[in-house]
Amino acid sequence: MAYTLNVNGRTTSVDVPADMPLLWVLRDVLNFKGTKFGCGIGQCGACTVQVGGRAVRSCQVTAAQAANAAITTIEGLSADGSHPVQRAWQEVDVPQCGYCQAGQIMSAAALLAQKPEPTDADIDTAMNGNLCRCGTYVRIREAIHRAAALVSGRSTSTAQRAAAE
């Protein structure tokens, strides 16, 4: 069946089964390889994309469910890596192996779009379910605070103090 998808600001039609996971539509049909397959059961978060501004596990959303919704993948966050979350990830040197990072970044960007100045508790809640086998959770939290500071123009230390309150 044909579905209209709006991926990274571009509308396209895909002829796929209704129950095909969005993950496979993105990777295998539309060639967006930044979205990673992790566990396939929605537990690890490696496949996280944004649908309608919400962070979702693309292995758990079907093509039919995603039809006509605004979908953003890691490739669509910014063409040149200038999104504040991407910049913060580089400045803080978050990744080790990097496999989970696209999903982590997409969850972090969705969080900051909803809560521009998140607390540590906000970050923990939003990032719960994005697993990192390398254990870079402390750096992930630091990078999210850094990204919030980049957006607001505050210094990172001010952002970290605000988060601790």
Q: Which amino acid is at 136?
A: T
Question: Looking at residue 32, what is its pLDDT?
Answer: 97
Q: Which amino acid is at 132?
A: C
pLDDT tens-digit profile, the chain (165 residues): 999 999 999 999 999 999 999 999 999 999 999 999 999 999 999 999 999 999 999 999 999 999 999 999 999 999 899 999 999 999 999 999 999 999 999 999 999 999 999 999 999 999 999 999 999 999 999 999 999 999 998 765 554 545 554
- Are 14 and 30 in contact by the 8 Å Cβ rule? The answer is yes
pLDDT tens digit sequence for 61-105: 999 999 999 999 999 999 899 999 999 999 999 999 999 999 999
CA dihedral 45, 129, 82, 22 (to 10 degrees): 30
Question: Looking at residue 56, what is its pLDDT?
Answer: 98
Map tokens 């095909």 to a residue: 20
Question: Looking at residue 154, what is its pLDDT?
Answer: 78
Question: Looking at residue 153, what is its pLDDT?
Answer: 87
DSSP string, 93-154: T--SS-TTHHHHHHHHHHHHHH-SS--HHHHHHHHTT---TT--HHHHHHHHHHHHHHHHT-
> Cα 129 from chain centroid?
12
